[in-house]
Structure formats: structure tokens, C-alpha cells
Amino acid sequence: MNGPDVQRALAAVAEPTRFRIVELLASRACTVGEVAEAIGALQPQTTKHLQALEAAGVIRVHRLGRRRVARLDREAFAALSAYFGDLARPGADDAVLEDYERAILAEEAGAGGADRLLRFRRTLAAEPAAVWVAWTDPARAARWWAPPHFTVERLELSPEPGATIHLVLAEGDGVRYASEGRVEAADPSRRLVFSLAPLGPDGAPLFAARHTLSIAGAAAGETELELTIDVSAVRSGAAPAVAGLEPGWNQLLDALAASLGGGGGDSH
């Protein structure tokens, strides 16, 4: 940004006496003597504080003959305001994290119930065969099968009944989250049924989750996708994982749609 060095400006203003000086100068310009009197300090000490604020670029000291008049550098504060205004703009993660935290609290309080059925729908800009490949080819699936800030470290998936599914997601700090399941049914380009659930610290699934993926051709080379997840056998301590299913799969399906060229939908 154009303007003062933000960190240096904040450090200068954060000192209590200098902060009082900034508040004083916010209302009007003052001579060095007036500043000294207002803050109850000797003039040499006041001069040092003003020099520090001037060096940080947040005030101007006008040398008018024998007089020294200090004022705020309004342009500098406008630049600081713009900087913090940018920081105040909502980020892509803000609402998701708020919703996820509320969902965990509700889950822990029992508001979510034990068993439940989640349903997601998307209209995808691709033929059913391309959607099938995006789901069942591990290299393709690894491109979208991870929420933001995670990467797919391992994905083993073969669209054959009885095949084992292994999924390991890695976060930026190196923490890994493993999920395992099994393919129950596979009808190429039409239907895939599989179990997949995250593993707890003891290596056992935190809950049972049966996923049913249905895909059907639509007009103009599009595909209608529906994913249902039947959740049951929820263990103690599984609240964060269960609460993360709906926001997590919404993010995953959005990523799938983007990887195929766009698309939208809803979940229930």
C-alpha cells in the first residue's frame, strides 16, 4: 500500500503517551508546548514522542519560524484505514468456519440426532461418462476430493464391488486424517454405492456412512448428480466429523463442478 509502514506506524502509536498525542491531534493541530501541557510531560520528552510519530509517518510537524506545530497526517491515516478496510472484508472461509463451529456445538448437544440422511444435488457441465471418471479414477478424484486447505495425500479407489477405499487428507501443518470404506455396487456412468468414514484415534470408523451416487444425462451435455449419505452408528467423540459432512461435501461437490467446467446445486 502507499503510505506509512503499517507495522512501524502501529508500534509508534501503540505506546500509551503517543496514543494520547494522536488522540489530541485528531481534534486540532497543536504546538509542541500545547502537546506537552496536555499530556503533562516536559517539552524535551514531548519532542521525542513527536519525533517518533513523525518518523513513523503518522504526524507532520510544521516548522514555522520558532514555532513547531504538529498535526495528524490525514493521508497516512487514510492509507492505514484502507489497509484495515481490506482486512475487514469477509473471506471465503469466514462463513464456512462459523457454520461448522455451530454445527459441532449442535451435534455435541444432540440437536443433530444419531442417524440421519444427507442429500446433495448438482447439475454438472459434463457428460455422465466424464463425471464417472472424475469420481472413480484416483488421479482425477484427487484433484477435487479435499476441502480447501487440505490436500489428498492418498486415495485408493477402484469401482468394483468389494474393493477397499483408502483416503488420507493432509492439512498444511502436516496433520493427517484417514478414512476407509468399501465399494458395495458399481454401475459405470450411472450409480456407485460405497461406505466411507473417517477413522478415530483407535483406527476404527467414527460412524457408518453409506454413500449412494446417482448420475444421469441431462440436456445439452450436462449431468444431474445426486449423492445421498446414510449416517448411522455414530460413536462418542464423532461430533466434529459428523458436523463436517454437510459443509465438507458441499465444498467437495463445488470443487468437482469446477473441475468439470462449472455447475451448481443444493443439499438437504
The x, y and z cell numbers of residue 243, run together, are: 458436523
Q: Are residues 81 and 157 in the same domain?
A: no
Q: What is the pLDDT of residue 263?
A: 47
Q: Is residue 129 part of a domain?
A: yes
Side-chain half-sphere CA neighbours of 149 within 13 A: 9
Q: What is the pLDDT of residue 65?
A: 95
What sign does the CA torsion over 142, 147, 148, 154 have? Answer: negative
DSSP 8-state code for residue 199: B
Q: Is residue 18 part of a domain?
A: yes
Q: Point out the domain boundary residue: 88, 107, 135.
A: 88
pTM of the model: 0.78
Number of domains composing the chain: 2
Q: Are residues 65 and 113 in the same domain?
A: no
Q: What is the pLDDT of residue 110?
A: 84
Pick from 241, 214, 245, 246: which is nearest to 227 by CA?
214
Q: Which domain holds residue 98?
A: 94-267
**Full DSSP string of 61-80:** EEEETTEEEEEE-HHHHHHH
Q: Is residue 134 part of a domain?
A: yes
Q: Are residues 226 and 100 in the same domain?
A: yes
Q: Are residues 173 and 230 in the same domain?
A: yes
Q: pLDDT tens digits, residue range 120-153?
A: 999 999 999 999 999 999 999 999 999 999 999 9
Q: Point out the domain boundary residue: 88, 105, 133.
A: 88
Q: What is the pLDDT of residue 218?
A: 85
Q: Is residue 99 part of a domain?
A: yes
Q: Point out the domain boundary residue: 39, 67, 88.
A: 88
Q: Is residue 1 part of a domain?
A: no
Q: What is the pLDDT of residue 67?
A: 94
Q: Are residues 63 and 108 in the same domain?
A: no
DSSP 8-state code for residue 145: S
The answer to whether 122 touches 265, Cβ cutoff 8 Å, is yes
Give pLDDT < 50 ranges for the chain: 263-265, 267-268
Q: What is the pLDDT of residue 219?
A: 79
Q: Are residues 106 and 228 in the same domain?
A: yes
Grouping H, G, I as helix, E, B as strand and the rest as coil, residue 170 is strand
Q: Are residues 148 and 63 in the same domain?
A: no
Q: Is residue 210 part of a domain?
A: yes
Q: What is the pLDDT of residue 182?
A: 98
Q: Give the CATH number of the domain where residue 180 resides.
A: 3.30.530.20
Q: Are residues 101 and 229 in the same domain?
A: yes
Q: What is the pLDDT of residue 114?
A: 76
Q: Are residues 66 and 101 in the same domain?
A: no
